[in-house]
Amino acid sequence: MASVSGWALSPQAEAAKPEPDLAAGRAAYGQYCARCHGPQAAGDGYDAKRLYPRPRNLTEGVFKFRSTATGTAPTDEDLFRTLTNGLPGSGMPDWRHLDEAVRWQLVYYVKSLSSVEQDAPAQPVDLGRDPGPRHADLAAGKRAYEKMGCAACHGAQGRGNGTSAPSLTDTWGRATRPADLTQGWNYRGGSDTKAIVTRVLAGIDGTPMPSYAEAASPNDAWQLAYYVRSLQQDPNWSMIAHAPLAREGLPASLDDPRWQRVPRVDVRLRNAMNEQGEWALPQTVSAVSFRVVHDGAAARFLISWQDPSDDRGDSPDGLALALPSAKVVGDSVTLQLWPMRFSPPLDLCVWSAKSLKTNEGVVRRYDTLLQGASQAVPLDTQAAYEDGQWRVMMTRPLAPANLPNAAQITPGRFTPLAFAVWDGGNAGQRATSSWVDVVMDAEPAKAHASQ
Amino acid sequence: MRREPQYTWMFLAGVLVAIGCGSRPQDAAATSQEQGGAKPVRLAQATEGSGVAPAPAGSGTIRGTVKFSGAQPAATHIKMDADPQCQLQHKEPVSKQDVVVNPNGTLQHVFVYVKSGLEGQTFAPPADAVVLNQHGCMYQPHVMGIQVGQPLEIVNGDATLHNVNCKPANSKPFNIAQPVQGMKSKKQFTAQEIMVKCACNVHPWMAAYVGVLPHPYFSVSGEDGGFSLNRLPAGDYTVEAWHERFGTQTKTAHVGDGETASVDFDFSG
Ligand SMILES: [Cu+2]
């Protein structure tokens, strides 16, 4: 079984596995890893507080991404894979650019930092056999998803919004969240079916995600993995969004089928740092999707994002669509850092889940608008929350008449646009995007499916 | 000959304490029905007649109660509405288990064990498993003891998913899923530890504490606040009482063959 369950590395990689040389490993560690993982590997490097989850204390011997029984050491190949691919969605970068020999020395060095190898040697889990995509039975996979209780944490549609999600903490006492299974690009340990089977059977130690090795047969786990894979949605990352001209009128509602003809653009978000310059909360909103159309006079946006909880109380969910104000010339500040002292005002369209309304204003701070500033202009808005997802439709004049210094959107020209999203259920954490360019096209929508 | 009846009586007392602890009587009854008579807890010394060689039998006993002299904490109820399967199993609101003060002013869920005095002696672990049940989305028992190397049988008595996330510092940690009612898993702890915490992440109120010892001399205070360490070899002992919120207290005691020493603890919160 051992050979089956190790990660399938190329035969060359196996052959290249060199003899351990701890001095070489230690030197490479000091050069590449210490700034995050710390000089003594205690997870307390210089950059540690600016990362969430925190870099691992490698002396504890707790490893998340294993192909081995819960509580046992990872295989060398597990660690090699983590180093090679990094852990997407966390601060752990990939080290593909390092020679394989160096990566192997780092693997040996990481292993030497804790006693887990001696205390609980790697015990590969039986991954069974891949039935192959043609024998994948998504209905059986869905049944397994329900029977195994994945939804308790990951939610019925896998959006990370299960009933237990907000209460989860990791072994180190920090708040953590179940992965949003629809965001394959955000899986730490790989989004392919084999990676999913491995996660399910081995569990993710140090986190609430348990091992199902005793609960699910390898065959059920494969069907489950094909189902989970089918939940993943391909993102359309883009720096440019086109807003087609809607000759037959703007889509009238959130569910208007005319939206389907408008291309969707996805934008990544990152949590803003707190006042101490730290990342102190898990990332619950990782991306925003939007579509935009215009009719020559106004632009209508359909914006959606996954937020695990519907919060409309005093710490409400919220969204800001940011445009540079008319006074700003050239590149505007990055939204990650805004607002700072002396930073320019922005034109913000701020929607709050408390009022379900949007107000636009040219402001130097978010809170002036969140608290309903007096000089704000209301925008026509519809919003709905369903199973872990907000959808907000807002309409903004291309050239607002009654708002001094508002951004003027000129068809045919690039208009920068960025998003900030607040999750009330995550202590009001704000997550922001970088700027994307939007062009109001002179052409009607091309009839192509965009999902 | 004179010792015989007293001995039996003590044994029974031990079992009563065992049944009383960790669960209310009606829960215990429900459990035995569903789980084919699995008792909520079986102290290691309660193995007589089960075909397992008992630990080298002494005949001393340390007995006592754990009083509580602090302010009676307000009972806090657990909100189970997130999982209807949990809610369904309770007609009455369920109180938190961290501080349970009995009507007679004693404290429940205190783990009492011989901390020192047994050095140099070895006690083979019983082959019988200690059962940790999950019933009504509560652990039964809430606090328990087990010997190093003794099987721990973890049972899901509920028709909902529990994950059992046990984080010993001295043994191999594990986090396993039990999605199906009736599922059982066998685990063990390989080294002494006061206490191992096990928790369920699906139901954040679920926590159990397991004392892992190289000997069978431990007990958990029950609904009368009593505990009893039975069949001790004659000797001088340090006995420690551990409570999840109020920490630990130690007392010393001397027992001779056939004698009963009494030791009381008093937590004030
Ligand atoms: Cu549970």
* Domain A2-119 CATH class label: mainly alpha
pLDDT in tens, A173-212: 999 999 999 999 999 999 999 999 999 999 999 999 999 9
Give B-chain residues touching A66 at CB under 8 angstroms.
Answer: none
pLDDT for residue B269 is more than 90: no
Mean pLDDT, residues A27-34 taken together: 97
How many CB pairs below 8 A link A and B? Answer: 76
Q: What is the 3-state secondary structure (H, E, C) of B161-226?
A: CEEEEECCCCCCCEEEEECCCCCEEEECCCCCEEEEEEECCCCCCCEEEEEEECCCCEEECCCCCE
Residue A328 has pLDDT above 80, yes or no: no
Instruction: Compute the average pLDDT of residues B230-241.
Output: 96
Rounded to a whole number of angstroms, the distance between the first and last alpha carbons of chain B is 44
Cα A32 to Cα A99, A330, B6, B268, distances in angstroms: 13, 36, 70, 52
CB atoms A164 and B203 under 8 Å:
yes
Residues of chain B neighbouring A71 (CB-CB closer than 8 A): 172-175
Chain A residue numbers touching B172 (CB-CB < 8 A): 71-72, 119-120
Whether A11 has a pLDDT exceeding 60, the answer reads no
Q: Give the global pTM.
A: 0.88
- Mean per-residue pLDDT of chain B: 83
Minimum-distance CB partner of A210 among B172, B177, B203: B177
Q: Where are the domains of chain B?
A: 6-24+63-268
pLDDT-wise least confident of A266-270, A327-331, A386-390, B192-196:
A327-331
Residues of chain A with CATH 2.60.40.1190: 240-440
Architecture of domain A240-440: Sandwich (2.60)
- pLDDT (0 to 100) of residue A16: 73
Q: What distance in Å separates the CA atoms of residue A138 and residue A135, rounded to the nearest whole number?
A: 9
pLDDT computed for residue A371 by the predictor:
60
A178 and A162 in contact (C-beta within 8 Å)?
Answer: yes
Which residue in this structure is represented by tokens 């970068």? A93
Counting other chains too, the contacts that B76-82 makes at CB distance below 8 Å and 24 or more residues apart are: B78/B205, B79/B205, B80/B137, B80/B203, B80/B205, B82/A163, B82/A164, B82/B203
pLDDT tens-digit series, residues A275-294: 888 999 999 999 999 999 99
Statement: residue B26 has pLDDT above 60: no
Q: For residue A443, is pLDDT > 80?
A: no
Name residue A16's amino acid: A
List Cβ<8 Å contacts ≥24 apart for A310-315. A310/A353, A310/A385, A310/A390, A311/A353, A311/A423, A311/A424, A311/A425, A312/A353, A312/A354, A312/A356, A312/A424, A313/A354, A313/A424, A314/A354, A315/A424, A315/A425, A315/A427, A315/A428
Of B83, B183, B201, the CB nearest to A215: B183
pLDDT digits (tens, 9 = 90+) for B44-93: 443 333 334 444 578 999 999 999 998 888 878 999 888 888 988 999 89
CA A228 to ligand 1 center in whole angstroms: 23
Cβ neighbours of B177 in A, within 8 Å: 148-149, 203, 210-212, 214-215
- State the DSSP H helix or E strand holding residue A138, giving kind and residue range, or none if neither: helix A138-147
> In whole angstroms, what is the distance from residue A194 CA to residue A183 CA?
17
Instruction: Report the phi/psi class of residue A171: left, alpha or beta, with left for phi > 0 and alpha for psi in -120 to 50.
Output: alpha
- Write the DSSP symbol of residue B3: H
pLDDT of residue A264: 96
**A368/A188: higher pLDDT:** A188
Is B176–A164 a contact, with Cβ atoms under 8 angstroms apart? no
Residue B14 phi, psi dihedral angles, 5° rounding: -60, -45
Over residues A28-56, mean pLDDT = 95
Q: Is the pLDDT of residue B129 over 70?
A: yes
Q: Measured between CA atoms, how close is A352 to chain B, in angstroms?
A: 26
Give residue-wise pLDDT tens across range A226-262. 999 999 999 999 999 999 999 889 999 999 999 999 9
The pLDDT of residue A444: 67
- DSSP helix/strand/coil, A108: helix
Nearest Cα residue in chain B from A146: B179
Q: Which helix (H) or strand (E) holds B66?
A: strand B60-68
**More confident of the two residues B39 and B75:** B75
What phi, psi does B161 have (nearest 5°)?
-75, 130
Output the pLDDT for position A265.
97
Tell me if A163 and B185 make a contact (CB, 8 A cut-off).
no
CATH of domain A126-231: 1.10.760.10
- Spatial separation of the C-alpha atoms in residues B101 and B107, rounded to whole Å: 5
Chain A, nearest residue to B175 by Cα: A210
Q: Work out the average pLDDT over A413-441.
A: 94
Q: Between B173, B176, B201, which is nearest A214 by CB? A: B176
* CA torsion, ordered A91, A94, A97, A103, to nearest 10 deg: 110
DSSP structural state of residue A408: P
* Cα dihedral: A295, A296, A300, A301 (round 10): 120
- Residue A369: the pLDDT is 67
Confidence of residue B148 (pLDDT cuts 50, 70, 90): very high
Cβ pair A435, A335 in contact under 8 A = yes
C-alpha of residue B78 to centroid of ligand 1, in Å: 13
Give yes or no for A171 touching B (CB within 8 A).
yes
pLDDT on residue A327: 76
Say yes or no for a CB contact (<8 Å) between A168 and B164: no
3-state secondary structure of A439: strand
Query: Per residue in A314-325, pLDDT tens?
Result: 999 999 999 998
Are B33 and B120 in contact by the 8 Å Cβ rule? The answer is: no
CA distance B200 to chain A (A): 8
| pLDDT of amino acid B35 | 35
Q: What percentage of chain B exceeds 70 in pLDDT? A: 79
CA A289 to chain centroid, in Å, comes to: 12
CA distances from B212 to A91, A330, B199 (A): 38, 67, 16
* A336 pLDDT higher than 90: no
Nearest Cβ partner of B176 from A120, A148, A211? A211
Over 50: is that where the pLDDT of A303 sits?
Answer: yes
Q: pLDDT tens digits, residue range B98-124? A: 999 999 999 999 999 999 999 989 999
In this complex, which of B83, B172, B183 lies closest to A163 when CB atoms are compared? B83
Contacts of B180 in chain A (CB under 8 A): 147, 215
pLDDT confidence of residue A7: 46
For residue B159, report the distance from its CA to the centre of ligand 1, in Å.
10
Phi (first) and psi of residue A368, to 5 degrees: -55, -40
pLDDT of residue A231: 98
Q: What are the φ/ψ torsions at residue A370 (nearest 5 degrees)?
A: -60, -30
- B172–A209: do the CB atoms touch at under 8 Å? no
- Which residues of chain A neighbour B82 with C-beta distances below 8 Å? 163-164
Report the alpha-carbon distance of residue B75 to residue B249 in Å, rounded. 24
The nearest alpha carbon in chain B to A175 belongs to B201
Cα distance between residue B64 and residue A254, in whole Å: 69
Fold of the domain spanning B6-24+63-268: Immunoglobulin-like (2.60.40)
Question: Which pLDDT score is estimated for A15?
Answer: 60
- Comparison of pLDDT for B23 and B145, the residue scoring more: B145
